[in-house]
Structure 1
Amino acid sequence: MSTLIQDPNYPEQVLNKASNIKLLICDVDGVLSNGQVIIGNNSEELKTFNIKDGFGIKCLQKSGIAVAIITGRNSKIVEKRCQELGIEHYYQGQSNKQEAFDTLCKDLSVQPEQICHIGDDLPDLPLLVQVGLGVTVADGHWLMQQHADWITQNNGGFGAVREVCDLILHSQNKLEAIHQDYLTKAQPSGVKQ
């Protein structure tokens, strides 16, 4: 069985920026979730997360790329999701995200040009314009789209983060190995490709 690794045909400038990334910082509402907040009877906050995004994050981590969260809201469910995904660096209740950003740069010894930030709305704009790869989601605010290096095809909460993970991995020649690993696992034993 022959393998076909699809080249998504990313713009060269975006690939160059992505090839330097050592840290992905994600917003939550409107990026990892669809932006809707459901508040239950007991003031319990509910959000939905996309499993594809979670798998992409795990692939980044296994490939040596750190992932962090900086979000303006406080939510127990975000803490739980970070624990599930093994995201150690998450900052909630950040109305001004710069302080958390500066802390991450120092703690992880990364420069802004080695960071990809994905956000959807104006509180994310200051980080978007100072990182090496600024990304917004397909349904991101128009000003974010105007200043982003790249815009995902998917809306926030619907696989946009996975797109960014694949972009970074592809740019660093790590995605094909992941694909090959799963293609190999899909082969019946004894069958060679």
Structure 2
Amino acid sequence: MAHVPFPDLPADLRERAARIRLACFDVDGTLTDGRLWLDAEGRELKAFHIQDGMGLRLLEEHGVRVALVTARESAVVAARGRELRLSEVHVGIRDKRALLEQLCSKHGHTPAEAAMMGDDLVDLGALSIAGLAVAPANAHPWVKARVHWHTRTAGGEGAARELCDLILTAQGKAEAVLAGFLQ
């Protein structure tokens, strides 16, 4: 028996997800739990959920460009982006809305074809123009009140994977993803 993912999802949300060609993800609080770990020398450490990484790769492998976008200067984020072979990794970005507009223009998409996932105020500009604006379950309340959808799981605990799975499902690609792993 086949499992039907997202059975109670409103039709307008499915339609938004079906249009996505570019998926942008904030990092701290979205791909991580939002805590910053610093060692005695001030070097940054972050923990990433392995299922989120798989989801990001699956999007890219099935025709959806992925961008990591963080306001912080972070060698850790750059390294994670390289490890996942992501198309776009942007660190030190203060104006995420402007970057989202640039990425859409660069790749021939409209903002309606872009998803943005973010958890805090610095993400609101990009979230406000994205065709699919998403927040993790533990996002700041002001952000959660202004998105199209929020995940069941928290940032750093698989929230990004939920969005990836939603997009793949809405685009009719979930069965192809599964078939690739069942062979």
Q: Tell whether the structures are fold-level matches, with TM greater than 0.5.
A: yes
8 Å CA contact 2:81, 2:89 repeated in 1: yes
The match for 1:191 is: none
The match for 2:66 is: 67
Of 6, 10, 21, which aligns to 1:8?
6
- Using the TM superposition, give the Cα deviation of residue 43 of structure 1 relative to its aligned residue in structure 2, in angstroms: 1.2
User: Which segments of 5 or more consecutive residues in structure 2 lack a partner in the other structure?
Assistant: none
- Other structure's SS at 1:135 match: strand
8 Å CA contact 2:57, 2:86 repeated in 1: no
- Using the TM superposition, give the Cα deviation of residue 179 of structure 1 relative to its aligned residue in structure 2, in angstroms: 1.6
1:105 aligned onto 2:104: yes
User: Which segments of 5 or more consecutive residues in structure 1 lack a partner in the other structure?
Assistant: 186-193
- Other structure's SS at 2:24 match: strand
Aligned residue identity for 2:35: Q
Partners of 2:131 and 2:87 lie apart in 1 by: 22
Aligned length: 182
- Using the TM superposition, give the Cα deviation of residue 8 of structure 1 relative to its aligned residue in structure 2, in angstroms: 2.0
Higher Rg = 1
Percent identity between the aligned chains? Answer: 35
Give the alignment of 1:31-110 within 5 angstroms: 31-110=30-109
8 Å CA contact 2:27, 2:68 repeated in 1: yes
Q: Deviations over 1:145-170 (max 9, x none)?
A: 11110000000010000000000000
The match for 1:163 is: 162
Q: Deviations over 1:26-73 (max 9, x none)?
A: 000000111011110121100000000000011101101000011110
Aligned residue identity for 1:87: L
Q: Deviations over 1:77-113 (max 9, x none)?
A: 1000000111131211112222322221121111000
TM-score scaled by length of structure 2 = 0.95
Aligned residue identity for 1:179: L
Aligned residue identity for 1:102: E
Partners of 2:58 and 2:109 lie apart in 1 by: 20
8 Å CA contact 1:120, 1:137 repeated in 2: yes
Partners of 2:146 and 2:179 lie apart in 1 by: 35
Aligned residue identity for 1:135: V
TM-score scaled by length of structure 1 = 0.91
